[in-house]
Chains A and B, each alone.
Chain A
Amino acid sequence: NAGVTQTPKFRILKIGQSMTLQCTQDMNHNYMYWYRQDPGMGLKLIYYSVGAGITDKGEVPNGYNVSRSTTEDFPLRLELAAPSQTSVYFCASSSLGLAYSYNEQFFGPGTRLTVL
């Protein structure tokens, strides 16, 4: 299994441009998440999904959009990129959610995004 894969690994955007960060998992996990990590900071949740067709906002959703048309894929869309969106973006997935006793998440390798 490849686990959680993300593309691209690196990207530089100009202010106002848009892009989509791709995330795919092959573990048949229902739950998927997008986090961002700024230097010296922990991870902050942007959006999450509990299954195909179902998404919800996390702590820092402004400036982002998501969709979940399949179990495997959970793309993150940035519209009108701003310098404040310069960060490392991690996608994660898990097989169980909060309703169960644990929520072990597996992370992709990350996308390093710079907005200039």
Chain B
Amino acid sequence: QKEVEQNSGPLSVPEGAIASLNCTYSDRGSQSFFWYRQYSGKSPELIMSIYSNGDKEDGRFTAQLNKASQYVSLLIRDSQPSDSATYLCAVNRDNQAGTALIFGKGTTLSVSS
């Protein structure tokens, strides 16, 4: 089983719609969950972090975490063409000190105007 799984997409939504991005992870000990946005040819940029079950909202973005189901999602409300990018889900690995994030392959989002 892959450690962090995401649908590669592309996910296409019209401008103004809600985009829903999903991620599952295999390590039950993971405690920290992140969503990064990556524009083509650019480096990943952190947009949301979540550590507790439930929802966390920041502007048009809402992250949702369900540790029992090992599932984390990102909702983007009122999607804009500028949201078109690849969204990477990242999860920490609990059994290694100092460490690193495990990334999914990313979901490509396309918002049409």
Contacts and interface: CB of A to CB of B under 8 A. Distances in A.
Contacts, number: 66
Interface string B69-80: 000000000000
A41 interface: yes
Contacts of B92: 98, 103
Interface string B82-110: 00000010001110111111011110000
| Chain B interface, >50% SS class | loop
Contact of A42 (B4, B31, B49): B4
A48 interface: yes
Given A42-B88, A98-B94, A103 B101 contact: yes
A101 B31 contact: yes
A44 B46 CA distance: 17
B8 interface: yes
B88 A43 contact: yes
Residue among A50, A58, A97, A103 facing the most chain B CB atoms (10 A cut-off): A103
A98 B8 contact: no
Interface residues of B, number: 26
A41 B44 CA distance: 13
Interface residues of A, number: 27
A58 B100 contact: yes
Contacts of A107: 43-45
Interface in A12-50: 31, 33, 35, 40-45, 48, 50
Contact of A98 (B4, B46, B49, B99): B99
Interface of B: 4, 8, 31-32, 34, 42-46, 49, 51, 88, 92-94, 96-101, 103-106
